[in-house]
Structure 1
Amino acid sequence: MPPFAELKPSQDPAVVGLCPERWTGISKQAAAWCAADAIPAISYLMGKESNATEVVRLGRQQVNSDKPLATDSIFLVASITKPIVGTAVLQLLEQGELMLNDKVRKFIPEFKGTGKNSITLRHLLTHSSGLPDMLPNDFDLRNAHAPLSRFIEGICQADLLFTPGESVSYQSMGFCLLGEVIQRITSLPCADYLHQSIFAPLQMHDTALGAPDNWYEGDKPKANRIAEIRLPETQLAANWNWNEKYWQSLGAPWGGLLTTPEDLSRFAAMMLNEGHFEDATILSPATVRVATTNQLNAMIDMPEKERRCRPWGLGWKLTWPGYSAHFGDLHSPNTFGHWGSTGTLLWMDPENNSFGIILCTEPQEPHGPYLARMTNRMRASIR
């Protein structure tokens, strides 16, 4: 039987292949962080083979409230969005709609400027395009509650930081462009395509790229289940923030995903099962293997230290030797995943068919200390 043909939750960590004493220790430390208000709320689980722990939920639903974290809480997971948008791009590759070396201008003709003609979809997926992470007027766009189209206009006018393929610099705006490519190929907004082609087939019923209008309707709006994030100072006096409707519903392809630990575990199981989970086939095994392999090795102008020390798959961060931030220190060389600036982490290890999900409401940039420390304890708990 494939490692994740199903996903059975268990109250006994030993059934999942974890040391019960070490697993209990994780809960004690997380509870202490919440009690000390180091983290307002945290929810996490682990999976191995076809089993998973039950979801642990600690802390408060709102930052300044005593109300416990809801048993059906939803989290804004920020940049974990990126590899899921990348998965949609890879589906279109499998359908013959695009190639990784296709130029971005093939799909977005107005994407012009010095050096931009050479930017490919592969560059966008591997943070090697030379585009900036955020636009110079990013704060002004958010403050004005600008639609995604305004961000696309800005990216088309933005200057590059370096020649594509010659360095690596994390670039959220590259994934904004990928969302636009998806829309221009499918004639569907990126959010709708993800729902139809990934979330619905995987039965991720509490997941959306941007909260739809119906999440705010009725006597018990689904949006009330979204856990409140402790805001950084830069957002406190702004006309936008992570907790308000504009950002929750924008559907930013680089950071607007809303989901639960349970839903995200189904996506993780699919990736570890080479693209298939239960009745849904999202990707082929060949595509999963390529997506989780270091793409920088094939870039002839990429410096050796970048290829060796900061490898990227197609949307997926791979294990970075000697770098503890977010991912911790104990991952195998085959591990892949992503983190989110709101305090979230997803990792998967095909070497022992395990995954970990940590969703909290304490922003972790730039080093992810709580995420990294918890991940080390998770990895150490695997028998």
Structure 2
Amino acid sequence: MSRIISERWQKVEKLIDGFCHTDQVPAIALQVSVGDESRSYFSGRQRIADQADTLPDDAIFLVASITKPIVVSGALKLMEEGELLLGDRVKRYIPEFGCAGKHGITIRHLMTHTSGLPDMLPDNRALRAANAPLSEFVKQICELAPDEPPGRIVQYQSTGIAILSEVILRIAGQSCADYLRQTLFEPLEMSDTSLGLPEEWKQGDHPRVDRIPEIRIPEGLDVEPHWDWNSSYWRQFGAPWGGLLTTPADLGKFAGMLRQGGRYRDQQILSPQTIREATRDQLPSFSGLSAAARQGKGWGLGWQIVSASNSDYYGDLLSRSAFGHGGATGTVFWVDPELNASAVILTTVPQEPHGRYLARITNRIIACIEPES
């Protein structure tokens, strides 16, 4: 069985401390599992202005786009329950979506970034500045024309995940946040996880909102404090494409479920076949996608398939069977079935476009694993 070599693990901690103590990264939290063994590590500052290590070991991070495959997993639960098919057209569930060239977009297109929709709405900044609700984003996406017909291009898109959350709402009769809590987070005992900041997290003598570390906003990002990642608006908004609040330990439980073929303790959260389908490259099955369009890309159902040409965020040493997702707030989640390993690396500094700190930490983690002989 694969295992962590303890003396090499110390070098992981040293690397992380170096990034934090030299202020390259304000805070880093880590949860790694190899075989039956798990390690965690926390370093850095809860607030940017803090003068010493203050990050608590129960810190709750805004993980940005790691949210996307979690929302997709919720939709896959509906698929398993017979409520939808991946080949169903989206307009079957959201009739007003089926206009302006979007008639043929299917659930599978949304999950694989092949719908042709843009990443963000043209009015994205104005909507956020106005503190618009999610319903307004969905309304404008429904009116939008895609950049290309579905199944022709691979184009990363947050808008498609927003629509997928609306599909969940219309089928389940409850918000995507509530549905994920009941069907995924509660069964997985992810007690510090929520899509958007719940009101109860702001209450009590030691409210959970105080455990959310401050994100360093790059000067060039040009956002306003009342709608940036640290704002009350954005934390409470619960963007289906990037609003998940969670801990390394909770995401580690989700990773363990994936590694165990959808099982957690005595519960089957998702079926083994659903996990296999979600974590295999779906792009070759789209006949309208040219080889050039697929070049260097790999998408399962919500999960990015790691390859040598898309190693940003994932480092250089993961197996070709690995899958995961990164987040713009400086986060990455990966599972490597070949190594029987997974990692959750959460930071508080955006690392677009190359995720250099995340990739270097991943390389250091892989270097301390002794593979199964």
1:376 matched to which residue of 2? Answer: 363
For residues 31 and 183 of structure 2, the distance between their equivalents in structure 1, rounded to whole angstroms, comes to 25
Moved more, 217-226 or 79-88: 217-226
Match of 2:140 among 154, 157, 164: 154
Pair 301,286 (structure 1): closer, same or farther in 2 beyond 3 Å:
same
1:277 matched to which residue of 2? Answer: 264
Contact 2:34–2:340 at 8 Å: present in 1 too?
Answer: yes
Q: Determine helix, strand or coil for the equivalent of 2:332.
A: strand
Identity of aligned residues (%): 49
Asked if residue 41 in structure 1 is aligned to residue 41 in structure 2, the reply is no
Contact 1:144–1:239 at 8 Å: present in 2 too?
Answer: no
CA distances 1:66-103 after superposition (whole Å, capped 9, x unpaired):
35101210000000000010101100000000000101
Contact 1:323–1:329 at 8 Å: present in 2 too?
Answer: no
Asked if residue 366 in structure 1 is aligned to residue 369 in structure 2, the reply is no
1:113 matched to which residue of 2? Answer: 99
Contact 1:291–1:314 at 8 Å: present in 2 too?
Answer: yes
Asked if residue 193 in structure 1 is aligned to residue 176 in structure 2, the reply is no
Moved more, 58-67 or 82-91: 58-67
1:211 matched to which residue of 2? Answer: 197
For residues 218 and 136 of structure 2, the distance between their equivalents in structure 1, rounded to whole angstroms, comes to 24
1:103 matched to which residue of 2? Answer: 89
Kindly state the Cα deviation for residue 112 of structure 1 after the two structures are TM-superposed: 3.4
Kindly state the Cα deviation for residue 157 of structure 1 after the two structures are TM-superposed: 1.6
Kindly state the Cα deviation for residue 21 of structure 1 after the two structures are TM-superposed: 3.0
CA distances 1:297-334 after superposition (whole Å, capped 9, x unpaired):
11001121443520100000001222331111111111
TM-score (norm 1): 0.93
1:13 matched to which residue of 2? Answer: none
Q: Determine helix, strand or coil for the equivalent of 2:30.
A: strand
Match of 1:84 among 70, 83, 96: 70
For residues 225 and 238 of structure 1, the distance between their equivalents in structure 2, rounded to whole angstroms, comes to 19
Kindly state the Cα deviation for residue 156 of structure 1 after the two structures are TM-superposed: 0.9
Q: Determine helix, strand or coil for the equivalent of 1:117.
A: coil
Kindly state the Cα deviation for residue 25 of structure 1 after the two structures are TM-superposed: 1.2
Counterpart code for 2:7: E
Q: Determine helix, strand or coil for the equivalent of 1:367.
A: coil
Counterpart code for 1:63: I
Kindly state the Cα deviation for residue 38 of structure 1 after the two structures are TM-superposed: 0.6
Counterpart code for 2:334: W
Moved more, 76-85 or 218-227: 218-227
Q: Determine helix, strand or coil for the equivalent of 2:245.
A: strand
Q: Determine helix, strand or coil for the equivalent of 2:66.
A: helix
CA distances 1:126-182 after superposition (whole Å, capped 9, x unpaired):
001011101011011111111100000110122211111011010011000011000
For residues 171 and 224 of structure 2, the distance between their equivalents in structure 1, rounded to whole angstroms, comes to 39
For residues 19 and 146 of structure 2, the distance between their equivalents in structure 1, rounded to whole angstroms, comes to 41
For residues 371 and 323 of structure 1, the distance between their equivalents in structure 2, rounded to whole angstroms, comes to 14
Match of 1:249 among 236, 259, 262: 236
Contact 1:43–1:358 at 8 Å: present in 2 too?
Answer: yes
TM-score (norm 2): 0.96
For residues 157 and 77 of structure 1, the distance between their equivalents in structure 2, rounded to whole angstroms, comes to 29
Kindly state the Cα deviation for residue 236 of structure 1 after the two structures are TM-superposed: 4.8
Match of 2:252 among 265, 284, 291: 265
Counterpart code for 1:52: S
Kindly state the Cα deviation for residue 338 of structure 1 after the two structures are TM-superposed: 0.4
Q: Determine helix, strand or coil for the equivalent of 1:347.
A: strand
2:209 matched to which residue of 1? Answer: 223
2:299 matched to which residue of 1? Answer: 312
For residues 127 and 182 of structure 1, the distance between their equivalents in structure 2, rounded to whole angstroms, comes to 18
Contact 2:226–2:233 at 8 Å: present in 1 too?
Answer: no
1:61 matched to which residue of 2? Answer: 46
Instruction: Show structure 1 runs of 5+ residues with no match.
Output: 4-15
Counterpart code for 1:24: Q
CA distances 1:208-246 after superposition (whole Å, capped 9, x unpaired):
000100111122211000011001333553531111111
Match of 1:289 among 236, 252, 276: 276
Counterpart code for 1:245: S
1:345 matched to which residue of 2? Answer: 332
2:166 matched to which residue of 1? Answer: 180
For residues 236 and 296 of structure 1, the distance between their equivalents in structure 2, rounded to whole angstroms, comes to 35
Contact 2:100–2:144 at 8 Å: present in 1 too?
Answer: no
Contact 1:235–1:241 at 8 Å: present in 2 too?
Answer: no
1:52 matched to which residue of 2? Answer: 38
Contact 2:331–2:347 at 8 Å: present in 1 too?
Answer: yes
Aligned-residue CA RMSD (Å): 1.4
Asked if residue 322 in structure 1 is aligned to residue 309 in structure 2, the reply is yes
Instruction: Show structure 2 runs of 5+ residues with no match.
Output: none
